[in-house]
Chains A and B, each alone.
Chain A
Amino acid sequence: MAEHLESGVDISVIITGHRERLLAGPTARSAREAVAHAEARGLACEIVLVLDRSDGLTREVLTAGIGEGVRIVESDEGDPGQARNHGVAAARGRCAAFLDGDDLWSYNWLTAAWQMAQDRPDAILHSTCNIVFGDEENLWWHVDSEGPFFDPDYLDWANYWDAMSFAPTSLYRRFPFRRNDLSLGFGHEDWHWNCLTHAAGVPHKPVPETVHFKRRRKGSQMSVVSDSGAVVWPLEPET
């Protein structure tokens, strides 16, 4: 029997915490708000907190902010993709949703994504747009890989979607994230993962009327990659 049937959990919320410290507070509250919205509509949610080489303050903030019922997974990876993999391994829900330790969801994210996943269980779901705040301020539209705006060649050049996706947990198990190696100059694991899943025929689709809020900080890993001329990991067999 599938694990989620046994557990009765619809959505596993996987929050990855590293060293976000007090910035993790709004993240925890945001997760709670989205879970409450979903639970009020009859969905069963669990929260899995992956603390990957996390410091004490981040742990305290996240555990306090999320409150009761959180399941904590400790890891010593120092790698966001591997941390997500640990979360997926612990997840008991039919679907899983990732939240990075300093970002936020719109309150309706889990509910809207779940509803859409009922129609498109084959797809990986993203927010309609990301609102970037902090040291950069932009609004990024998430493009539908099945829609008229999608240019598959662009996915080779840059990333279309970030890692805070929603999909059946089985899909995350089928396509685990690879370890980052930014020193070699290859881009983030989520870019590679998006290429890999897209190449395998899995669509990436935005969920209408939802938003993710992405905090941008100077010196964050994202800034390091964009400055280093990062390119996507090749999917071709290596020589």
Chain B
Amino acid sequence: MSDAALRAAMAEAFDAEFYGDRYADVTRAGADPLEHYLAYGWQENRNPFRELDGAYYRKKYLGDAPPDMSPLAHYVLEGRALGLPLNREEELRRFGDRDWSALVLQFLQASGMDLDHVDGSLFHRFVLPLFSAGAYRQRKGIIATLSDNQLLAQYLAFDFPQGAPPGPLFDSEWYSLQAQKAGLPPIDGRRGLFLHWLEHGVASRIAPNALFDEATYLARNPDVAEQFEGWAFEHFLICGLSEERRFSPLVYLEPNRTRALSPDGKSLNETFLTWAAGRPAGADGFAGMAAFLKSDRITDILHRATILEPKIGRSSGGRFQLLPPWQDADYADFRAIRDLIPLRRAKRIILMPFCKMGGADFLAGVLADALPSPDETLVLRTDQSDWVRPDWFPQKVTSIDLSAHLNLLRPDRRRRVLYELIRGLGARHVYNVNSRLGFETFETYGARLARFTRLYAYYFCSDQTPDGCEVGYPVSYFATVLPHLQAALFDNAALPARLTNRFALPAGQVNKLQVLYSPALNTPPETPLVHRQVESKSGRDRPVLLWAGRLDRQKRFDLVVEIARAMPDIEIRCWGRAVLDAPMDDSVELPDNLVLNPAFERFDELPLRNSDGWLYTSAWDGLPNVLIEAGANGLPVVASAVDGIPELLDEDTGWPVTEVGDVQAYVNAIRNMLGDDAERVARAERLYQRVVERHAGELYRARLAELEEVENG
């Protein structure tokens, strides 16, 4: 089916009215229901029409499907034609549907099996729910990409006739004992225990798993006791497993939050029962626990203890039975997150929020590249999944997104998980490059972490609210984090000077503040490009300035527009997109001499040679990478003289504008730059030299090594 045909089929099956009514947030946001479903809704387990339960459908049928296939797509491509149940209720209703079972029975009998004593409906009521594709795949060592349905067919054709049980929930040893106790007909070794159970055990209502306790199931699930007329074990198989209903008096399972993201799609009940089945020695343990709870001994113990302290006996029936770690959902979440990381140990960890297009994201890549032994470095994305620029990171570095899992947890649990990851991985150095969770974890656990690892945090620049208040990580997470850090890292000297003054830092803390000038990404050209610009200027109709940055409030693109309007004799070519703020209003009319392009991929793809200078208008900043790149290429620059920028750009190396926001000040600086070629060349050359000397990659690497070494000594 072509993409267009698939979309049309989905649009036809989709119920926009239902979706809009059911999900008021979509309606409030004014989003198109189908667009919303296809972009986000299916991943959030929303239902495309009333009958299709997104969570049920995904868990049930999409295990082998491509990760980007929505339930609706699967439904129109396959599910509808196969007549798959779309929700649990439908699955239950179809208990009486014998078509599938009749077909299987017919098939098996045609292949020579004697199944005269087997009720055909048992195939869809018991064989199907007990079948575990994952366990079968593992048992048979099947690594080929066979679907779950293909595996079921293989089981029915080859293993069922041999008497093999369909999955780990059928405990042969337990059933054998129970069958003997119940006085059922002798077990025919050739036909196997599972067939015996279908022929005799089901009718005698013998649950083939020691951990399922019918009395507990009915007591803990009163709706089943009231409404379900069949055997409780059957309800458990069809519904109770996936609905995580309690079934055992011995163990309380606490559902964890990340289980919906589990790659095997198993419910907690299935996970536990599979785990228990994988520990044959545990059967004695469970049997012992059950026997003890029913024993005269514990009755006697409780009786005598209650005489001493009546509170003990007050509510002995209502207690949860806790078997560590199954009562601990937080631990289950931690394990699920730990399992995302393929490394057992990591010498260095870099924490970053995400990888979009920002300077901090870029610097995380620079840092990963500069640190030794990249195969022992782990980059963890903690806040959002974006991984837009993998090319900024060395290939040998392992980068993992934890954010999807972490964001399902309570904030305090996220911090605990990150702490335990750092500890468990044995990291010697942990660098935080703008990860909010990293800062929060350093704040909460910094004193403890610092006992066995070395913490570093990058601070770039503060942000400003529209009414001029200073906000951001240097405000929120400096005073509380610095005492735990081995070093606070800065890409400019202005910010640490301000923080030193603000917090009246004593010498011991000041010594932790380290300025590491960021290296340029590309190797600088041998000759500053300003020479090429001056040589080629006669070929341009009018002078061309370049501007690039995020279209966010901080970068003052509005100033660029005003400058263009004030200088119709020049052209300004811009690259960028909004990252942190809302996208620019399309109704803003740009002047003819300003061209806005999407964000660039690489700095050297810009027309550096065929332009006349670089313009930078930020209202506040650290020491922006784009200016380092401009300097490394030997471009003449007009820039706002804010925060860290004057360390790079002064009257010797460019045209700094101190009156930030004053359009005329920028116009004057641009006129000065364009009006004197000799001075333009001289200042661009000096800027180039400053970058070469101060922002060299070797220098950055050496400073990092020095930092790690000093503390080792």
Which residues of A are interface residues toward B (Cβ below 8 A)?
Answer: 26, 29-30, 33, 104, 106-108, 128-129, 131-134, 137-141, 143-144, 147-149, 151, 153-154, 156-158, 160, 184-186, 208-211, 213, 215, 229, 231, 234, 236, 238-239
Contact = CB atoms under 8 A, between A and B. Distances in A.
A90 B279 CA distance: 43
A229 B444 contact: yes
Contacts of A134: 311
B312 to A, nearest CB: 5
Nearest to B322: A140
Interface residues of B, number: 53
A160 B324 contact: yes
A229 B415 contact: yes
A156 B424 contact: yes
B154 interface: no
Contacts of A151: 325
Contacts of B280: 148
A156 B330 CA distance: 13
A125 to B, nearest CB: 16
B312 A229 contact: no
B416 A229 contact: yes
A209 B308 contact: no
Nearest to B711: A239
B431 interface: no
Given A140-B324, A141-B289, A239-B451, A209 B297 contact: yes
Contact of A158 (B298, B309, B325): B325
Contacts of B419: 231
B525 interface: no
Interface string B150-167: 000000000000000000
Given A104-B305, A107-B304, A137-B319, A238 B324 contact: no
A137 B318 contact: yes
Interface in B401-419: 412, 415-416, 419
A238 B412 contact: no
Given A209-B297, A211-B298, A133 B312 contact: yes
A95 B396 CA distance: 55
Interface in B664-690: none
B477 interface: no
Contacts of B319: 131-132, 137-139
Nearest to A128: B292
Interface in B327-356: 328, 330-331, 334-335
B342 to A, nearest CB: 16
Contacts of A213: 305, 309, 312
B373 interface: no
A185 B445 contact: yes
Nearest to B338: A153
11 contacts: A107-B304, A132-B319, A134-B311, A138-B321, A141-B324, A149-B285, A157-B420, A213-B312, A229-B416, A234-B451, A236-B426
Contact of A148 (B282, B412, B452, B454): B282
Contacts of B328: 154, 157-158
Contact of A157 (B281, B309, B331, B452): B331
Contacts of A186: 448
Contacts of A208: 288, 292
Those 4 A-B pairs whose CB atoms lie nearest each other, nearest first: A148-B279, A26-B309, A148-B282, A154-B325
Interface string B262-274: 0000000000000
Given A26-B308, A131-B312, A133-B311, A141 B323 contact: yes
Interface in B288-313: 288-289, 292, 295, 297-298, 301-302, 304-305, 308-309, 311-312
Interface in B107-128: none
Contacts of A29: 308
B435 interface: no
Contacts of A215: 309, 311
A14 B304 CA distance: 22
Contacts of B309: 26, 30, 104, 133, 213, 215
A139 B322 contact: yes
A235 to B, nearest CB: 10
A204 B312 CA distance: 26
A229 B424 CA distance: 17
Nearest to B301: A106
A108 B447 CA distance: 44
B284 to A, nearest CB: 9
B305 A231 contact: no
B138 interface: no
Contacts of A140: 322, 324
A238 B451 contact: yes
Given A104-B312, A106-B305, A211-B305, A139 B416 contact: no
A108 B453 contact: no
Contacts of A132: 319
Contacts of B415: 229
A134 B453 CA distance: 40
Contacts of A238: 451-452
Nearest to B252: A138
B315 interface: yes
A231 B334 CA distance: 14
A192 B531 CA distance: 68
B292 to A, nearest CB: 6
B512 to A, nearest CB: 15
Contacts of A128: 292
Given A106-B305, A147-B285, A209 B331 contact: no
B602 interface: no
Contacts of B540: none
A184 B447 contact: yes
B305 A141 contact: no
A146 to B, nearest CB: 10
B95 interface: no
